[in-house]
Amino acid sequence: MKKAKAHFPKIRPIAYEGPKSANALSFKHYNPDEVIDGKTTTAHLRFSIAYWHAFRGVGSDPFGPGTIVRPWEKGTDAVSIARIRMDAAFEFFQKIRAPFWCFHDRDIAPEGRTLAQSNRNLDRLVDHAKDHQKATGVKLLWGTANLFSNRRYMCGASTNPDAHVFAYAAAQVKKALDVTQQLGGENYVFWGGREGYETLLNTNLRREQDHLAAFLHMAVDYAKSISFKGQFLIEPKPKEPTKHQYDFDVASGIAFLRTYGLEKHFKFNIETNHATLAGHTFAHEIEVAAAAGMLGSIDANAGDELLGWDTDQFNTNVRELTLAMISILRAGGLGSGGLNFDAKLRRPSIDPEDLFHAHIGGMDAYALAFKLARRILADGKLEQFVANRYASYDAGYGRDIAQRRLGFRELNKLVLTKLGEPKPCSGRQEYLENLLAQYLANGA
């Protein structure tokens, strides 16, 4: 591949300079090459850049069009612009030291007048991406299809009342799976888009859920037929764009998948801001997925405590991320998943340099949280506390309860003849919060 012109000429590859560095364009905690337990930090954290935000985000909101104008967005031919944009993107991936990227089909290539034309455009950009991946070593964490922007999807894709739209969405996802496979994608994501409803006055909820399940079964069958090895991921979100999204949260996602016999084929892509919109903490969603053996990947971002929509901000809340990391590490990590920055610049952050500040902050916060979580787990105080709290189920009648060897009759007799009144025991929440605060204050 011939060397392209630099799109971020003033910015050198970001280097680790340690927590005391005064250089804003350096990592304070993310030391990509540091080897921990035989693996580089890069391989542990598997950071990924979200193409739609980093390279298609323009800062628009319902009150005005974009504010962010990139110097490389020049020309009249949409496919040529898309190619140059991709050059800029891969330069960024390398300079920010991200080993992965993620995209929707329509992020990387313009939609054509027909599906055939859209597919041709996509093929051209996929070829370009292949060359870039080869030249840089950056890999595809996951691919997905945009089934929500085009007008045809205004009433949903697979849950659309019109079977014609369902068929179109199927054709689009078939192609998205093909190209994800061609680029070696390690996962494929299904975020609900407009799979939900606004009013029951025009909606048959049962039929829509049946159709969504039919769609996912078709995806599973097709992936098998092409020997696609990537992991399928559902990304729950409770609301936005529709008022009632069907994949509300991880728990309802698990129920949906089990109802329709899909649970073996899917894990979850958990997004911080979607968790909080559902009224959960980030760590709660991770724990629910992990408990079912379905923790897949993370869309790393943050919401705003005061706003009730998906603000997709970069997350620098080390406390929140440390708790999340504890849950992730305890579950044995993310496997083929990673930490994808599904996060965007604020509307007035218009310089290319802001892209670097944003991602440096997100990466550093996660890297610090990772180290803190490792320390906390290695220390074992928290783990030991929780283990002790449940110790009564480890032996005797407690173990018989857990193993379902006793019933109400036996326990009734046991309480009446032997056990009597239980002795209450403190949950020690404040003590544990202080312990956590101490870990955070002492640093990694």
Judged by CB under 5 A, the number of residues near Ni ion is 4
Q: Indicate the residue among 31 and 297 with the shorter CB distance to ligand XLS.
A: 297
Count of CB atoms within 10 A of residue 284's CB?
20
Stretch that binds Ni ion, among 23-31, 208-216, 244-252, 334-342 (CB under 5 A): 334-342
Residue 144 interacts with which of ligand XLS, Ni ion, none, CB < 5 to 8 Å by class:
ligand XLS
* Catalytic position from the list 105, 107, 249, 310: 107
Q: Residue 14 corresponds to which tokens in the numbers above?
A: 């970001």
Q: What is the smallest separation between the CB atom of 237 and ligand XLS, expressed in angstroms? A: 6
Instruction: Give me the residue whose beta carbon is nearest to ligand XLS.
Output: 191
Q: Indicate the residue among 26 and 336 with the shorter CB distance to Ni ion.
A: 336
Query: By the 8 A CB rule, do 53 and 341 touch?
Result: yes
Q: What is the smallest separation between the CB atom of 378 and Ni ion, expressed in angstroms? A: 31
Residue 208 interacts with which of ligand XLS, Ni ion, none, CB < 5 to 8 Å by class:
none
* Catalytic position from the list 7, 53, 104, 359: 104
Q: In Å, how far from its chain's centre is CA 382? A: 27
Q: What is the smallest separation between the CB atom of 374 and ligand XLS, expressed in angstroms? A: 27
Count of CB atoms within 10 A of residue 334's CB?
22
Query: By the 8 A CB rule, do 241 and 194 touch?
Result: yes
Q: Indicate the residue among 287 and 310 with the shorter CB distance to Ni ion.
A: 310
d(CA 22, CA 25): 9
d(CA 228, CA 182): 9
Query: By the 8 A CB rule, do 45 and 333 touch?
Result: no
Residue type, 277: L
Contact between 271 and Ni ion by CB under 5 A: the answer reads yes
Q: Indicate the residue among 121 and 301 with the shorter CB distance to Ni ion.
A: 301
Q: What is the smallest separation between the CB atom of 286 and ligand XLS, expressed in angstroms? A: 16
Contact between 299 and Ni ion by CB under 5 A: the answer reads yes
Name, in order, each residue with C-beta under 8 angstroms of 413's C-beta and a sequence gap of 6 or more: none
Q: Indicate the residue among 99 and 192 with the shorter CB distance to Ni ion.
A: 192
Backbone angles phi, psi at 191, to 5 degrees: -95, 140
Q: Indicate the residue among 237 and 280 with the shorter CB distance to ligand XLS.
A: 237
Residue 164 catalytic?
Answer: no
Query: By the 8 A CB rule, do 157 and 27 touch?
Result: no
Q: What is the smallest separation between the CB atom of 134 and ligand XLS, expressed in angstroms? A: 25
Contact between 195 and Ni ion by CB under 5 A: the answer reads no
d(CA 258, CA 248): 15
Residue 104 catalytic?
Answer: yes
Where do contacts with ligand XLS occur on this chain (CB under 6 A)? 104, 144, 189, 191, 235, 237, 271, 299, 310, 342
Q: Which helix (H) or strand (E) holds 215?
A: helix 205-225
d(CA 1, CA 252): 46
Q: What is the smallest separation between the CB atom of 277 and Ni ion, expressed in angstroms? A: 9
First CA to last CA across the chain, in angstroms? 41
Binding site for Ni ion (CB under 5 A): 271, 299, 310, 342
Q: Which residues are known catalytic residues?
A: 104, 107
